[in-house]
Amino acid sequence: MRWGWHGLMLVPLVFLGLFFVYPLAAIFGLSLFPEGSADWSGFTRLVTSNYYRDTLGFTLGQALLSTGLTLGLALPGAYIFTRYRFPGKSLFLSLSTLPFVLPTIVVAAAFSALIGPRGLVNEWLMAALALDEPPIQLERTFTIILIVHVFYNYAVALRILTGYWANQNPRMEEAARILGAHGWRLWWHIRLPILRPALTAAALLVFIFTFTSFGVVLVLGGPRFATLEVEIYRQAVNLFNLPVAAALSLVQIAVMFAMMVVYTRLQRRISGDLVSTTTSARSPRTRREWAAVTITLAFIGVMLFTPLAALIARSVTTNAGELSLRYYEQLTQNSRNSVLFVPPIQAVGNSLVFAAATTVLAVGLGLLTAYLLSGRIWQRGSWFDAVFMLPLATSAVTLGFGYIIALDEPPLNLRTSPVLIPLAHCLVAIPFVVRSALPALRAIPPSLREAGQVLGASPWQVWRRIELPLISRGVIVGATFAFTVSMGEFGASLFIARPDTPTIPVAIFRLLGQPGALNYGQALAMSSILMLVSAAGFILIERLRTAGIGEF
């Protein structure tokens, strides 16, 4: 029986090797040995070409600037949520995370619906001021990229800073006040040094997300701007320059792995710095304090929720300004009348099928991985923890590119198979299942299992009647994560999805790239559907996590 468990535990390792390590190794081989012998021409072009150096410089520059803006705006919000108690505080903090769980293609569509050339704000201004052209021209600009990056990552910084700050002992700040430290001195000498680990962790995480930005830059930035992610896609799909795409992928992988190593070490330090106390929040007392709370909540409401509201409003509004479900009704039509394209509604069905398959695979493999890491089967299971988190540190675009060049020969000739989509989604979803189920699994006292065995229960009965009910909440959280991640995954799907089996994000991208009000309206309608699905999954996760389920 023990050998059977050992063999079963090998399944997630084999899966990781076949569908993660092997494609990355193929990228490495293509970049360094394109013709079977060592060839550094791909890297040489990266070094000698001003274009690729500018691409790397833009990727770094926009990530640094986006990170700075996000932290600068999140820090005052973290102070308000840490120091003050007000009605709806927990609800606002939870809802602020909703934009982060949305797919990037939905976020891009939401801002297009709000401030794009055909967005609500421009339509209102044109009607009010009798203008012939939209006065706000932000699409295809660097400004819109920064705005959307702040929108997308604000909640990440807010929750990291708030969680860390709320668990710090307030006596140091109180002592500083007694000694005369106020205003900027209190911030510079006390608060910022205390928050330095959390600020650094938040900065690293936001930098990672913005460095690997793909959907936002591809849809809103246009051809003038390209991060490494976008350039990998262009070189591989548009130009079919695989050696250069592979070299760019290796640069991307190296930077991401370095960032993740630093972040995980810093995260362990942050966990060790937390003390068993909670900063006492109080109700605002003065008009100034109430004004600060009001401004913070208004900022969050306008910045985070207005684009999402505009997305829904624009999807049910025709060009004539009338309320209509026309765009939703047209989702059943193939407006291009092409055998290579399908009605947009079919993409919804495809995504549901892929998400269901991803959830089943991810939950099964994730549970096996959780048992492996729990130490019940292999006492050194913790050594594999970092290994199974590696897909989160790898670009989805890089992973999709690896599938194209690696899985094109028997026995893994899957490049044209729709099966490849749930396999790719599963890699990203497994870490969420593991992080959700592993804490619940480790919390089960060994005495419960032993008692079941003493009473004559078989290992299967012990698992089904004792362990499974105890870890069920964590499994449901992980399954919800897996389903939501699969529904919204864009980078890898854009590489490997066939024209006749698109997912919702791929269909939205195609529709946004086509001229005409109907295509634009259909894109907004599909984005609204995907947003509502993601929001439902997020609400379920938040409700189940109130009991402390999961390591996030």
pLDDT confidence of residue 63:
93
| Residue 442, number of CB atoms within 10 A of its CB | 14
Identify the CA nearest to 479 among candidates 445, 410, 433, 423. 433
pLDDT value of residue 174: 59
pLDDT of residue 382: 47
Q: Could you tell me the CATH superfamily of domain 53-220?
A: MetI-like (1.10.3720.10)
| DSSP state at residue 282 | B
**CATH topology identical between 1-19+329-552 and 53-220:** yes
> Within 443-490, where are the H helices?
446-454, 459-462, 468-488
d(CA 506, CA 341): 12
Count the neighbouring beta carbons within 10 Å of the beta carbon of residue 173.
Answer: 16
Evaluate the CA torsion angle 90, 96, 100, 105 in order and state its sign. Answer: positive
**Whole-number Å distance between alpha carbons of 523 and 539:** 24
Q: Which strand (E) or helix (H) includes residue 418?
A: none
DSSP string, 242-254: HHHHHHHHHHHHH
b/e map of 62-77 (b: 16 or more CB within 10 Å)?
bbeebbebbbebbbeb
Per-domain residue ranges of the chain: 1-19+329-552, 53-220
Q: What's the pLDDT at 186? A: 64
pLDDT attached to residue 277: 47
Report residue 246 as tokens.
């592979």
Q: How far apart are CA 203 and CA 216, in angstroms?
A: 19
CA 452 to centroid of chain Cα atoms? 41
Tens of pLDDT, residue by residue, the chain (552 residues):
455 556 677 888 889 888 888 888 887 787 777 776 777 776 777 777 888 888 888 999 999 999 999 999 998 888 888 888 888 787 777 777 777 777 888 888 888 888 888 788 888 888 888 888 888 888 788 999 999 999 989 988 888 888 777 776 666 665 656 655 565 666 665 667 777 888 888 898 899 888 888 888 888 887 788 888 888 888 877 777 777 877 887 788 778 777 777 776 776 666 555 554 455 677 888 888 899 889 988 888 888 888 888 889 888 887 767 788 888 888 887 655 554 467 888 888 899 999 999 999 999 999 888 888 776 555 454 456 667 777 876 777 778 878 888 887 777 778 778 888 999 899 888 888 887 888 778 777 777 777 777 777 777 777 777 777 888 888 888 888 889 889 888 888 888 888 778 898 888 888 887 777 888 888 888 888 888 888 888 777 777 664 444 444
The answer to whether 496 and 402 have CB atoms below 8 angstroms apart is no
Contacts by residues 258-262 (CB-CB < 8 Å, ≥ 24 positions apart): 259/204, 259/207, 259/208, 259/211, 259/393, 260/208, 260/389, 260/392, 260/393, 262/204
Whether pTM > 0.85 for this model: the answer is: no
Q: What is the CATH number of domain 1-19+329-552?
A: 1.10.3720.10
